[in-house]
Amino acid sequence: MIDANNPVEKPSLKPVELHGRASTEVFAELVPGAAVVKAFNHLVAERVAGDRATEGGRRVLFYSGDNPSAKATVAALIDRLGFFGIDLGSVEAGGRLVQFPGGPLPALNLVRFE
């Protein structure tokens, strides 16, 4: 299961109180037994829906998770869609890096050049 959410209330974008937990940890509790991968949440939707091959490179998408097989599936999907995926590790570490608000990577629009 791909977790593409960010812990904010709409439309105010007020942060949801998670008591120090990553939003994906909370999400995973809602889908017991599922292999959850955090992905497709650090860029605004228009960027993800836009041109994946940009400026001569491929737009970067981050992903993280605790299940190697599920991460490999999501990495293959990211590649098949024309993006360049970067594995940020576990949900606890990588999920926090891309979580909005709070993480340092949301809205970071990177391009990988071959």
Tell me the DSSP string of 25-37.
HHHHHHSTT---E
Sketch out the chain's domains with CATH numbers: 2-112 (3.40.50.720)
Q: Count Cβ atoms below 10 Å from residue 63 Cβ, excluding itself.
A: 27
pLDDT of residue 81: 93
Does the pLDDT value for residue 71 go beyond 80?
A: yes
pLDDT at 13: 82
pLDDT at residue 50 tops 80: no
The pLDDT value given to residue 74: 98
Instruction: Provide mean pLDDT across the span 34-63.
Output: 87
- Between 20 and 72, the higher pLDDT residue: 72
Q: Which residue has the tokens 């709070």?
A: 102
Assign residue 16 a region: left if phi > 0, alpha if psi is -120 to 50, beta otherwise?
A: beta
Lowest average pLDDT, out of 57-61, 71-75, 103-107, goes to 103-107
